[in-house]
Amino acid sequence: MLREYKASIFQALAHPTRIAIVEVLREGEVSARAIQDRLGIEQANLSQHLAILRSRQIVAHRKEGNQVFYSLRHRVLGKVLDLMRQYFQANLADAAQMLDEVRAERPAR
């Protein structure tokens, strides 16, 4: 069951736009309009992505007048994104090192 929960969270984050939304919300509560402006996406598209993040309980929302404000339910998700960045950078460093080794092995012309 825990693995299924983890998988559902990763599935929800498996789209670059949803990751961008989470990154915006790391800074704190933001209106849907501000998210839309910052990311430069259509309102309908943003609504679809926010619905997925809400359904997985990644974001919380509240209404104030005719605006809806969003925030991360748990700030630890920002740390998860930081770890993913570190993982990416480590893989990138490994690939760069292998490329250097391949270039060093190439015979001179």
**How far lies 93's CA from each of 28, 106, 107, in Å?**
32, 20, 24
Instruction: Tell me the residue type at 75.
Output: R
Using 50, 70 and 90 to split pLDDT, how confident is the model at 36? very high
Say what the pTM is. 0.82
Identify each DSSP E strand in the chain by its residue range.
Answer: 30-31, 59-64, 67-72
Q: What is the CATH number of the domain that holds 17?
A: 1.10.10.10
Residue 8 belongs to domain spanning = 2-105
CA distance 37 to 45: 12
In whole angstroms, give the CA distance from residue 21 to residue 16. 9
Domain tally, the chain: 1
Instruction: Encode pLDDT of 56-86 as tens digits.
Output: 999 999 999 999 999 999 999 989 999 999 9
